[in-house]
Structure 1
């Protein structure tokens, strides 16, 4: 007896592969699992303004590079200026240049960002070198006392930085801290004290994101290096936790804006929160050169074609389940699937009415053709021509009476309708009207169920965006193909054999 282990292994492999591929696509490419899902995006405008001196001008402006936000679109407005985006040791920078400029100048940079939720601390394999710092004689002893106080209450570099931040930020500051803050800003003092202890630290600039805000400025923060990671510190607010609405614009301890050939330079930010389709966003962020089996890389015409084709396996799955497991009889094996596709174009009610009218008229004409003793090929050809004529007449009548729904009847597969009429006519002659009603009604019932499944927004979203689901469908079809038991509708035939239980 042949073992079925390889078969079940194949089915399991198909299902696992399909589900795994779908999950991978959703996580790796940010394709939403839920149709119609929305996500928040931020549109940020940076306005660079300065006064040109009538000489060559070069403007270098840092661009955001924050793992917590992914750039969707970025563009600039700079009439008369040359522009280049450069990757430097200080990060990404936009460099505008012009041979000569006079008076007030304005340059714009616009970026659309998508929150990723990945607030990873930047890493470096080697600790950056710390340059020695110097203190005036009046501050040296005071700084050493502050360092000694924080050092005693700490266990490592990170806890030392926390203790130092609390000493600087607390309301009831000591006299030593107050003296040092009279000459330094909190961030500058924090960094200088850390460097005195050979702990790497740097200034980073961030932008608080708030909907419909204008003329905003970047705020300075501090990152402290400890055990291979840079850790965020908000000295002003005495917090080490980075807020979710903070965009770190510049984090390489360099200037945000450098202007050569101009004066009175400044940069202001405006921001707006928007809602975007998660699916459209994932498509826009998809790399067309990546090895990704995505139908969105095809032209729109082919995409539209595949959106219909990829629904057929769903209809096939419904037909296999209803015929093999339930036991519903249909006229033709997969004719209900094609009828269901037509229902998607026409709507369910219009499709049912149109199908019944066409088949009824076709059967009457086919009964006349049966008396002519035609060859099969001629008879089928005649039925096809008659079906086309019936569809044309119904379409014209619908147009005359203003029934726009009737115009969609042309979406019915004419060849399939002709074969359906031929099969029902032969079945009528051989088995009688009852069998025609049973198979015809079964076909419409299966087509309706297939239509409901194929027209589901969830189903359409999954079969088109997660191609791995077709492997799952194939596995289920193969699994049902091994079923040899009684159909559910056949159980009633054996009910009298059960008898009454005493």
Structure 2
């Protein structure tokens, strides 16, 4: 094959390898599946507690809950409220948890729990169209004071963000003028900012955030200011004018809807407790795959029985790659082309030492029985058929003996492929007759050596993790095998023929 004719082949191999790696990276990014085993991810368990006194009648309690807080993804939600009906509804553009009960009296306590996963890429969903600034009206002399303060902020700004920062600075105690003193009171400061920004044509609203600290109880929400710059909502600290959501701040409520409404109760209050936990990254990715719409691309959607089957089948390409490398590059001779892969699969099931003992025992006893069958001058088909039956009896006997002796792993000897072992015994017997015992020993030890190498690769926890969770990486293995199929150079085991030349030189 000329160099020009090989070009399409190399391009195809390159595309295979590129596709495999690209799909694996995409799966890692989109589904969050980790590259390594044992990785841990933090999650926050937040519990909202609602307390009120029921007034001996129907009760309807409604709590504002997060929809898509920036910097976090909602993993799960649940309520603990014995005797109450519970549902999550969409109302006036916000999500609310509602508890209902036909009749209740006395102190009542309701719980809402949610798990949040930190995600720096999570952003609040954009509205279909930008919101409009709310109309506000002022009476004199407040109207004049508002107009003068807004004029000062406009002169020092050029965007909605910069104007918001300048307005917050003008409203601080150390920079207040006569106009701001006329307007500002501690109890109406944040509401005043929202009204003034809306009056200036900038859509503004309040937001309540929860500072996440491990093992904290009975925490209250902190108020923040949000404006819309025409593209998305931006968050500001109303005291420092700092833009952006602080680290470990969960925006629980965003918008003008109330935090808690209770019909049929008095003295209502809500408090929050939180706990930081860690879970395996793979478990978290599996849980999240059901919510991000990409779960159908995962083997975890299959029944457990089929998952177990694919966990084993997806290890076979690694064994095939090892056999191809050992035979083509190293030059180790084996009995059969891919018999070592099947032996390695059996070793994965039985573990190495019990599997090795069982395999050697079955082959040794089978060779003795094959010698007797050859003396009967049977046809090939009859001889192989009889050998299969004998191999089944041998493995069954070894399993029973192993079990009686207390070796539970002996029960897994039956995993060995009976037909393949029968053919192996037949091939070794013919090889013994034609080439002698030395060749049988060479190919037999070569098969076991390659099988053990394949087993070590296939049984590695990282290999099990990558092959099952990133099946597209098998395209990379396919590309490497195709490349090795083009290798026509010396095998490493053949280099010993040039040793005399080295000594002579």
The structure-2 alpha-carbon separation of the partners of 1:280 and 1:397, relative to structure 1 and needing over 3 Å to count, comes to same
Is 2:487 the partner of 1:472? no
Q: Corresponding residue for 1:11? A: 13
Deviations 1:155-195 (A, max 9, x none): 33322211222344466766654554435443223223323
Query: Are the aligned partners of 1:221 and 1:235 in contact in 2 as well (CA < 8 Å)?
Result: yes
Between the aligned partners of 1:386 and 1:292, the Cα distance in structure 2 is 45
The residue correspondences of 1:293-332 to structure 2 (distance < 5 A) are 293-332=297-336
Q: Aligned Cα RMSD in Å? A: 2.6
Q: CA deviation at 1:143?
A: 4.4
Secondary structure at 2:471's aligned position in 1? Answer: coil
2:450 matched residue in structure 1: 446
Contact 1:122–1:230, Cα closer than 8 Å, also in 2: no
Over 3 Å counting, the alpha-carbon distance change for 1:121 and 1:329 in structure 2 is: same
- The answer to which of 377-386 and 318-327 deviates more is 377-386
How far the C-alpha of 1:127 sits from its partner, in A, is 4.7
1:285 aligns with 2:288: yes
* Alpha-carbon shift at residue 290 of structure 1 (Å): 5.2
Q: Residue 40 of structure 2 aligns with which residue?
A: 38
* Paired position in structure 2 for 1:252: 255
Could you tell me which residue of structure 1 aligns to residue 197 of structure 2? 194
1:48 equivalent to 2:38? Answer no
Q: CA deviation at 1:350?
A: 2.1
Does the residue aligned with 1:373 lie in a helix, a strand or coil? Answer: coil
Contact 1:186–1:236 (Cα < 8 Å) also in 2: no
1:224·1:231 contact (CA, 8 Å) conserved in 2?
yes
Tell me, in whole angstroms, the C-alpha distance in 2 between the residues paired with 1:404 and 1:84. 51
1:83–1:97 contact (8 Å) kept in structure 2 = yes
What pairs up with 1:330-479 in 2 under 5 angstroms?
A: 330-479=334-483
Change (3 A) 1:396 1:319: same
Tell me if structure 1 keeps the 8 A contact 2:130–2:230.
no
Please report how far the alpha carbon of residue 215 of structure 1 lies from its aligned counterpart in structure 2 after TM superposition.
Answer: 1.3
Determine the C-alpha separation between the residues in 2 that align with 1:120 and 1:387.
63
Question: Which residue, out of 93, 100, 103, partners 1:100?
Answer: 103
Q: Secondary structure at the match of 2:130?
A: coil
Of 250, 270, 274, 1:271 maps to: 274
SS of 1:48's equivalent? strand
* Structure 1 Cα separation of the partners of residues 501 and 400 of structure 2: 56
Q: For residues 14 and 121 of structure 1, what CA distance do their matches in structure 2 show?
A: 37
Distance 2:89 2:364 in 1: 72
Q: CA deviation at 1:497?
A: 5.5
Shift of 1:392: 3.4
Secondary structure (helix, strand or coil) at the match of 1:285 reads helix
- The size of the alignment, in residue pairs, is 500
CA distance, structure 1, for counterparts of residue 179 and residue 212 of structure 2 = 35
**Kept in 2: contact 1:232–1:241 (CA 8 A):** yes
CA deviations on 1:42-81 (whole Å, 9 max, x unpaired) are 1122122222223333222212121422222112233343
- State the TM-score, normalizing by the size of structure 2: 0.91
**1:436-481 deviations in Å (ceiling 9; x for gaps):** 1110111011101110111111111111111211222222222222
Q: State the TM-score, normalized to the length of structure 1.
A: 0.91
The alpha-carbon deviation at position 122 of structure 1 amounts to 6.0
- Change in Cα spacing, 1:197 to 1:410, as seen in structure 2 (3 Å) is same
Deviation at 1:216, TM superposition (A): 1.5
Aligned to 1:78: 81
Q: How far off its partner does 1:34 sit? A: 2.0
Deviates more, 1:490-499 or 1:200-209: 490-499
CA displacement 1:398-426 (0-9 Å, x = unmatched): 33433344444333223222222221121
Q: Are the aligned partners of 1:127 and 1:228 in contact in 2 as well (CA < 8 Å)?
A: no
Alpha carbons 2:347, 2:455 under 8 Å: kept: yes
SS in 2 for 1:54: strand
Task: Report the equivalent of 2:121.
Answer: 118
Is the partner of 1:479 in helix, strand or coil?
helix
Partner SS state of residue 313, structure 1? helix
**For residues 274-328 of structure 1, what are the alpha-carbon distances to aligned partners after superposition, in whole Å with 9 as ceiling and x for unaligned?**
1112222222222487583322111111111111111111111111111112111
SS at 2:57's partner residue? coil
Are 2:157 and 1:157 aligned? no
Tell me the residue number matched to 1:224: 227
Contact 1:40 1:115 survives alignment (8 Å): yes
